[in-house]
A and B are shown apart, each in its own frame.
Chain A
Amino acid sequence: MFDLSSRQAKIVFFAALAVIGFFLFFPLYWLVISSLKANAELYRVVPTPFPTMPSLEHFVRALTTGKLPMYLTNSLITSTCSASLVTLLALYAGFSFAKYRYFGRQPVMLFMLSAQMFPFGLLLISIYPMMSELNLLDTRPGLILSYIVFALPVSTYMLYSYFSQVPDELIDAARADGASDLRIFHTIVIPISIPPIVTVFLYSFMWSWNDLLYSMTLIVSDEKRTIGPGLLLTYLNEVNADWGGAMAASLVASAPIVAAFMFLQRYFIQGVTAGAVK
């Protein structure tokens, strides 16, 4: 793209690389490094660039004494359930939008997609009394249902774009053999759509896993609290701030989502930027 054969061009290029790269990666580096420093080294006005005596004490403490394992379990339960629910709903809706031609199909789809513009905080104002009315306040099912807000529209659209590329002939041929639409969908279309389905699942899982607002509002009791508000309440409170613990717990809380993402990032990026660029 750029011609870096001249000395001056090289300098400009690598200077920009260094500056933006530093901004992007230093905070991540600092997160890891700080989690490995014992308190005596962590709380210094002039910090050491890397731990002189690496210690796992923060990790041990976070995983054994605190409520982190409980919060993680709760997040795992709510996120898995809500991601499954969203994926299931989006699967049928995406197929419906892609392969049927009923009246109002396109406006409905556009409307659903533009619902991403409704601020989540505003929706919460009415979701809260609604869940209260249904006795779902401070329950996992209530939180799981509310998480539909985050990912359903985009998930539906991602699967719709994928299913649109499945040839109609494939389905028509199976129909000619007498298979029902549902059967065709389940036995022919779904098996060839595993990557986008996994992507959508991960996408909605990530929304729930990373959420702070809904969980801290809709869940009151500690036994059901998820990782976002759990971390906040544990490590940053009025009394003290345990930064070493916060960093170690942050790494533990990020690990599952980072692992899944790294594994699937290619599909993920494609799904998210698909069609936006001509």
Chain B
Amino acid sequence: MAVIENNVGAYPVSPHANRGGLKAGQNRIGLLLLLPAATGFCAIILYPFLSALGLSLFEYTVEMMEPRFIGLENFAKIAADPDVWAAFWTTAIYVVLSTTGTLIAGLGWALIMNQPFAGRGVLRSLSLLPWVLPATVSAFIWGWIFNSRYGVLNAFLMELGLIDYPQAWLSTPEGAMLAVVLTKVWLSIPLFMSFFLAGLQNLDKEQIDAARVDGAGNWAVLRDHILPHLRPVLMIVVVLGVIGNLQQFDTIYALTGGGPVRATTVLSVEVYRRAFEQWDIGFASAVGVLWVAALLPPAFLYLRMLVKGN
């Protein structure tokens, strides 16, 4: 999904939530104002969600006029289907690599962008760019870099003497995974950086100056002051990163189509293929239910942060 991941549901409820508000007796108007959005929400988000969960209990393929109730049979089929298990495993690898990669690069870049130097403002603005590009465009850029015949990556590595002949990156399982992970890391760095930079704004500078007077070096300042200070932000970023990466579809589909064979078929691609290429709606929904189950732990953590922040 495009880059501003659905991630952006990042904020805990505002501290103003319980204070203020207009006087009682106006509530009917309040509900009336909520009505249009609530209708849209129920019709386009809530109903489809519940309906998809329900469809997991039905057999519903392209030849059928009406779905037929089959209980848990779809799940039994999934349990016996190595392809679905493989998709879970692939998703786990993708999520761990992308989230870790973005975390390291995003934190590093935020620390660098927090240091005053000439040209920093321009760099900071420019580094937000990968975030706003259409998913197809990001996939094109990285597809071209990884191109087997004319790709700049091969040229680089050959120039450095690391490989002897051009590699067909996107045709090997590892190469394709590397490409989809790098693409995701690249386009998520801006979001992570923005969170970290916001967190760095209220760092206690006097405390750091005091530590420096006591002889602390850069490494000690980072380890004892900056990183502990960023801990809450780090938690939010990791949870949101995991949620976003678990759902990532567009760049993977555009870059590798889930291939070669099934090497980059993560859950989102698996569900899409089962539903809209094989038209096995019931089975796709059942995989979707397990997908939602995988999202529950990070979603729970996220909700807890929301409520705590309240």
Which residues of A pack against B, CB within 8 Å? 1-4, 9, 13, 16-17, 20-21, 23-25, 27-28, 30-31, 34, 42-47, 85, 88-90, 92-93, 95-103, 105-106, 108-110, 112-130, 145-146, 148-150, 152-154, 156-157, 160-161, 164-165, 168, 171-172, 181-182, 185, 203, 206-207, 209-213, 217, 227-229, 231-232, 235-236, 243, 246-247, 250, 253-254, 257-258, 261-262, 265, 269, 272-278
Contacts and interface: CB of A to CB of B under 8 A. Distances in A.
B61 interface: no
Given A115-B49, A125-B52, A265-B128, A156 B232 contact: no
Given A47-B152, A97-B34, A127-B44, A275 B143 contact: no
A1 B36 CA distance: 48
Given A122-B292, A161-B11, A164-B17, A273 B303 contact: no
A149 B47 CA distance: 11
A211 B281 CA distance: 22
29 contacts: A3-B218, A30-B141, A96-B34, A98-B21, A100-B33, A118-B45, A119-B246, A119-B292, A124-B275, A125-B55, A125-B271, A126-B51, A126-B52, A130-B48, A145-B40, A154-B9, A157-B9, A203-B8, A212-B250, A212-B254, A217-B276, A236-B140, A236-B254, A247-B141, A275-B15, A276-B11, A276-B195, A276-B233, A277-B201
B306 A113 contact: yes
B140 A114 contact: no
A16 B143 contact: no
Contact of A125 (B114, B288, B303): B288
B31 interface: yes
Interface SS majority for chain B: helix
Nearest to A258: B132
B226 A247 contact: no
Contacts of A17: 112
Nearest to B299: A117
B232 A278 contact: yes
Nearest to B9: A116
A21 B123 CA distance: 9
A103 B30 CA distance: 11
A150 B14 contact: no
Name, among B34, B254, B306, the residue most crowded by chain A CB atoms within 10 Å (CB to CB).
B34
Given A47-B150, A116-B9, A254-B134, A122 B291 contact: yes
Given A24-B127, A273-B195, A212 B253 contact: yes
B75 interface: no
B180 interface: no
Contact of A257 (B13, B34, B134, B139): B134
A114 B303 contact: yes
Contact of A28 (B22, B31, B130, B233): B130
Given A114-B303, A121-B249, A231 B46 contact: no
A165 B15 CA distance: 10
Contact of A161 (B14, B33, B194): B14
A243 to B, nearest CB: 5
